[in-house]
Structure formats: structure tokens, C-alpha cells
Amino acid sequence: MSEININTVCIIGAGTMGSGITELIVSMGKKVVLLDLEKGILEGALGTIEKNLRRLAQRGKMEKEQVSLVLSRIQLTEDYGDISDADIVIEAASEDMELKKVIFNRIEKSTRESAIIATNTSTLSVSELAMSTSRPEKVVGIHFFNPAPIMKLVEVINTAKTSPETLEQTIEFVRSLDKYPVTVKDRTGFVVNRILLPMINEAIFVLDEGVATAAEIDNAMKLGANHPIGPLALADLIGLDVTLSVLNVLYEEYGDPKFRPAPLLKEMVRSDYLGRKTGKGFFEYRKR
Ligand SMILES: NC(=O)c1ccc[n+]([C@@H]2O[C@H](COP(=O)([O-])OP(=O)(O)OC[C@H]3O[C@@H](n4cnc5c(N)ncnc54)[C@H](O)[C@@H]3O)[C@@H](O)[C@H]2O)c1
């Protein structure tokens, strides 16, 4: 059995995923040190988490008095000196290999040798990140899904260098968050995106060929395949720019034409029709 008890968690990057993962972990009774570049970003993330917790309290899913207790478990910082007690550091900064390598270097220098260094990357090589450190056996991928407090799955990426102990502790940690860990090899797209993205892409080809309308394609997949959301609405939710970029990474890595992005998807991204975030994708949305 693993020896370290993971209590102190540090998260690097307070964006969509970093704030979602923080909300999840503090809700489970653990402390989080949340690090980002600027105070404004950190305070914005804290505000979002507070809003989400208050909404849960309003719906009776959490005691009102609990909200401030849960929030008090979050420490905001811009200083790597504050992550020295971490049992695990989860990097959830922007999807950029060079940036992540710099962050991994900072993490390595600022933490104990026993600390696990995890990345939440969706598409980058966890092995490459691991090899940029002097302790690749402590590096693992821990891929949460958005929104992290709600989505049950976490892909745990076991590289060729990850030690069995690191893997076991990470799986145990994921279970302690009431999530379902699936252990996967370090192959681009892991399991979910590798299967999901070609399906979304095919739906875009089907639309472009005029086989059916966007609404009918989504209804067909909801009613015929029992999917809770249609592939085109899902692409709008993910963001068409992100969808295109993941397909490009998959295509580049595997060289398999099944991953070639649909021309309609490229045209929409070039036209700034990015889905929900711009108010228009395959469907129209009221701007938030
Ligand atoms: N958004 C999703 O649906 C999703 C799902 C699973 C995994 N991911 C992965 O999670 C990671 C984060 O994605 P996101 O959507 O939260 O991005 P985001 O753009 O919302 O947030 C990224 C955050 O990283 C911060 N950052 C940038 N450089 C930094 C640095 N040097 N030090 C500290 N913080 C820094 C930014 O200020 C920003 O707050 C990416 O690797 C992405 O691939 C995203």
C-alpha cells in the first residue's frame, strides 16, 4: 500500500480546469494551494468557486454554513514558495508544452522529492513532460473532465517511467475524490478524446454533405445512440477552436486520415464561429 497520505494539494493554473479541480478537492475536505500568475485571475477563480458553492447551498445540496468553511481551505498564491508542503501538485495551466516544462521545473525545485507531479493536459505528451524533470517516476497524468466537480471520470496516465507507487497513490487519491479512475497509457487523446473527437468530426462531415440538418443529426444520436447530448451541440460546448486543435494533434501524432479535421470545422473556426463562447457554432446561443 502507498505510504503518503495526500492531504495538501497544489494546483497550478486557476482557469476553467484549475478552479473546477480546486472546488472539487476542497469540497472533499482537503486543502488546496492555488497558484496562478496574477492576483486578479486568482480572485476571479475564487469568486467562481464561491458562486458555485452558494448555488449548491441554495439547492439544498450543501449546508449554507459549509460554504465559508469549504472556501477557507483554499490558499491563493503567486509564489512557488507556498507549494513546498504539497503531497501532490496538479498542473492545469494553458495547453503549451514549453510553458508546462517551465512550470514543471519550478514545481520540481519547490517541492519535496516525495511529491507527485501531475499534469491535467488533454493532448500533450506526459512522457515528454516527465523526462524534462529529474524525477520522471513521480510524474503522472491526471486528466479531469469539465466541469471537474461533476464529471465522474478521471483518466490516470501511466507513462513508461511512472513508478508503480506513484500510480497507486494517484489512483487512491482520485478515488478519495469520489471519482472513477481509468488507467491509460500515454497515447495521444488517451481513451475519451481519441474516441469522441472522430465521432464529432464525422458528424460535421455528415452536416457538410447535407445528409441531415444539425438539429436532426443531434436528435438522431440522442435518440438512436442514447447520447445525452448530440455531437454538434457537444462541439459547441467544447469550443470549435479546441475541437479543431485536438483533431490536429491527433492527426499529427497518428498520421491516420480518420482524424483529418472536416473542412467545415476549419471554415467555422476561421469565421470565429466557435460555439457557445462566441454565441454561434452549429447552433445559436444568447451571449453570456
Ligand atoms: N477546458 C477543458 O475542457 C479541459 C478539460 C480537460 C483538460 N484540460 C486541460 O487543462 C489545462 C488547462 O485548461 P483550461 O481550459 O483550464 O485553460 P484556461 O485557459 O482556462 O486556464 C489556464 C490558466 O493557466 C494560467 N497560466 C498560464 N501560464 C501560467 C504560469 N506560467 N503559471 C501559472 N499559471 C499559468 C492562466 O493564467 C490561466 O488562468 C490544459 O492543459 C487543458 O488541455 C482542459
162-216 pLDDT per residue, tens: 999 999 999 999 999 999 999 999 999 999 999 999 999 999 999 999 999 999 9
List, for the chain, all residue ranges whose pLDDT scores fall below the cut of 50: 1-2
pLDDT per residue as tens digits for the range 9-20? 999 999 999 999
Query: Quick one: 152 and 232 in the same domain?
Result: no
Query: Quick one: 26 and 71 in the same domain?
Result: yes
Q: What is the DSSP string of 234-250?
A: HHHHH-HHHHHHHHHHH
Closest ligand 1 atom number to CA of residue 99: 31
Model confidence, pTM: 0.95
Give the list of residues 6+ apart from residue 76 with CB closer than 8 angstroms, or none. 14, 34, 39, 42, 43, 45, 46
Q: Which of the following is catalytic: 120, 122, 125, 127?
A: 122
Give the list of residues 6+ apart from residue 158 with CB closer than 8 angstroms, or none. 140, 141, 167, 183, 184, 185, 186
Query: Quick one: 251 and 146 in the same domain?
Result: no
Residue (of 175, 57, 50, 196) closest to 122 by Cα position: 196
> Of 124, 159, 185, which one is at a domain's C-terminal end?
185
Quote the pLDDT of residue 3: 54
Quote the pLDDT of residue 19: 97
What is the total count of domains within the chain?
A: 2
> Which domain range does residue 154 map to?
8-185
Within a domain: residue 2?
Answer: no
Within a domain: residue 218?
Answer: yes
Quote the pLDDT of residue 233: 98
Residue (of 200, 205, 197) closest to 267 by Cα position: 205
> Of 167, 185, 203, which one is at a domain's C-terminal end?
185
> Of 185, 212, 235, which one is at a domain's C-terminal end?
185
Quote the pLDDT of residue 1: 47
CATH number reported for the structural domain that contains residue 223 in this entry = 1.10.1040.10
Within a domain: residue 233?
Answer: yes
Pocket around ligand 1 at a 6 A CB cut-off? 12-18, 35-37, 41, 92-95, 99, 103, 120-122, 143-146
